[in-house]
Structure 1
C-alpha cells in the first residue's frame, strides 16, 4: 500500500497478500500504529487472537462493514460470527458483480 491518502479504517475488508494466510480475506479490527493493523476473520483468526499485519502486505478494499465498525465502537468488541457474516456478504457481493458483468476488476481497492 503506497498511497498516503488511503488509510486503514476499522471494519475495512482486506485481502492478505503475504504470509501463511495469503489469498484470504480479513477485517481490520484495530490499528496498532501507522504501519500495522490487527486483523481477524472470525474463523482461523478469532477476535480474541487477532493477527498483527503490516499494511504493506494487505490490499485494502474500499468497503467497510458498518455492522463490525459499529459493534467495535459501541461495545469495544465484535463476535466472531459477525466477522464471518460480514466477510461472507462481501465475497458474495463481489461474486454477484463479477457474474453480472458489471466489470469489478479490483478498482474499488484503495491501493
Structure 2
C-alpha cells in the first residue's frame, strides 16, 4: 500500500475510531506512520490526538497560517484552528 504524503497544516478527515468523519489539522508529523491532530473543539492544542496515517483521509487543503505558526513557534490558538478548518473545508462539514 502506498504511503500518503502528510504535512503540518494539512486538513484531514478521520475514517476510523470514535472520531470517524471529523476534520482535523496536522500539527506534528511524528514519523512516517503517526501524526498529531487537533480540531480546536474536542481535540484541543493542549491534548492532541496521536493517530496512524492509514486511519485518516488526506485532503488537498493546507492551512498556511497554521503551518507558519507551528514552524516558527508562534502562538497558535484553538479558535484559530477552528476558523482555519471552517475556512478550508467550508460546506463539506456536516
1:32–1:76 Cα change, 3 Å: farther
Deviation of 1:25 (Å): 0.2
If the length of structure 2 is used for normalisation, what is the TM-score? 0.90
Q: How does 1:77-92 map to 2 (within 5 A)?
A: 78-92=76-90
1:58–1:80 Cα change, 3 Å: same
Gaps of 5+ in 1: 97-111
Q: Computing the radius of gyration over CA atoms, which structure comes out larger, 1 or 2?
A: 1
Partner of 2:2: 3
User: RMSD over aligned Cα, in angstroms?
Assistant: 1.6
Aligned counterparts of 2:75 and 2:13: Cα–Cα separation in 1? 21
Q: Which runs of 4+ in 1 moved over 3 A?
A: none
Gaps of 5+ in 2: none
Deviation of 1:74 (Å): 1.2
Report the structure, 1 or 2, having the larger strand content: 2
Deviation of 1:3 (Å): 3.1
Aligned counterparts of 1:45 and 1:88: Cα–Cα separation in 2? 15
Secondary structure of the corresponding residue to residue 61 of structure 1: strand
